[in-house]
Amino acid sequence: MSASCYALHMANTRLHVLYIPGLGDEKVRGQKFAVRMWRLRGVRGEVLAAHWADDEAWDDKYARLLARVDELMAEHKNVAVIGTSAGASAVINIYAARKSQLVGCVVIAGKVNNAAAIGERYRRKHPAFVQSVETCEKALQDLSDSDRKRIMSRYAVFDGLIPRRDSYIAGAQNRMVPSVGHAFTIATQITIGAPLFLHFLKVLARKRR
């Protein structure tokens, strides 16, 4: 293999992770920095905002997010998706739609169950988020046992915003992490906790080769 072909091969086999944050994704400078640092682990991280606070309908957000996934896969890249908080429902929906092509999926402090319990304030301000969780619940029901094994869900010992039952996914790699609080759990997981879930995704990527 020539040097140029080898370089292209390495670029295409390197794991590319799309990271979808939760509500308030217009101010995620710290998260963007943390995701960029994943390159130290041999992972290309890219923040892909849903823009939960705007008036764009969920179906349009979903199409836009999915289009970026398809762009990367058209370039023959190994793609995985990670979502935090509200973004977790979005990545489950994306994973369900492209489960045969995506490497895997990680959700952190994610709201993926119990859409009916979302409060009225969120329903008024973030209707697309509510629709995403409702769609996510249906998507999870249609996943096979093998599909679920390529999902990791990480959640806190105690999260005052999203209970553990709303993050737990039957048949997935569920992991309770030793932290308390919603924002704190996300912050620590995407930094000091990142090697663990990135390793999970890289192992899945190797199995696909």
Report the DSSP pairing between strands 105-108 and 43-47: unpaired
In the prediction, which pLDDT does 20 show? 98
Which pLDDT tens digit goes with each residue over 9-60? 434 569 999 999 999 999 999 999 999 999 999 999 999 999 999 999 999 9
Per-residue 3-state assignment (H helix, E strand, C coil) for 32-63: HHHHHHHHHHCEEEEECCCCCCCCCCHHHHHH
Inform me whether the pLDDT recorded for 203 exceeds 90: yes
Q: How many domains does the chain have?
A: 1
Q: What CATH code is carried by the domain that includes residue 71?
A: 3.40.50.1820
In the prediction, which pLDDT does 175 show? 98
- Binned at pLDDT 50, 70 and 90, residue 95 comes out as very high
Which pLDDT tens digit goes with each residue over 100-111? 999 999 999 999
In the prediction, which pLDDT does 75 show? 97
- Binned at pLDDT 50, 70 and 90, residue 208 comes out as confident
Q: Does residue 174 sit in helix, strand or coil?
A: strand
d(CA 143, CA 157): 26
d(CA 178, CA 188): 10
Which pLDDT tens digit goes with each residue over 123-169? 999 999 999 999 999 999 999 999 999 999 999 999 999 999 999 99
Residue 179's domain comprises 3-208
In the prediction, which pLDDT does 209 show? 76
Q: What is the mean pLDDT of the chain?
A: 94
Q: Does residue 164 sit in helix, strand or coil?
A: helix
In the prediction, which pLDDT does 195 show? 98
In the prediction, which pLDDT does 9 show? 41
In the prediction, which pLDDT does 1 show? 44
105 near 82, Cβ under 8 Å? yes
